[in-house]
Amino acid sequence: MADDATAEEAFRPPPQQLTFAQHAWAFVKELTGVVIGAVIVASLLRAFVGQIFLIPSSSMEQTLRVDDRVVVEKITRIQRGEVVVFADPGGWLTGPAAPRRGAVGRALQFVGVLPERQLLRW
């Protein structure tokens, strides 16, 4: 029996030793995969399940304050008495214009980390 165990060990290749650069590259590949997966999941949740908005004006001052954050869920139907978020493409609502975000802010807004400010009116 002992001879069989030593014979198997003789044919087994030695374990491969990874260098620091190989460990670092493996870590970067795994981190990239996790980040890309998280961005895809967050974007899908934002597009189909819910989205965060900032209150831009004082039109609902008794209930919601300016710059309050609200989470809007997109799954159910609208019922009477609910608050509705809508875009103002015609520009008929007045109020202060939201400051334009930089490239990083727009990317975080697209993913859903930052609330949307520009098209929202109440």
CA distance 121 to 57: 7
Q: Hey, what are 33's tokens?
A: 């995969």
What pTM, to 2 d.p., does this model score?
0.56
CB 50 within 8 A of CB 59: no
CA distance 46 to 65: 23
Cα–Cα distances in angstroms (integers) from residue 72 to residues 19, 32, 98, 100, in the given order: 49, 30, 19, 22
Using one digit for the tens of pLDDT, what is the confidence trace for 64-85? 887 788 888 888 888 888 877 7
Using one digit for the tens of pLDDT, what is the confidence trace for 15-73? 778 888 999 999 999 999 999 999 899 888 888 888 887 777 777 777 788 778 888 88
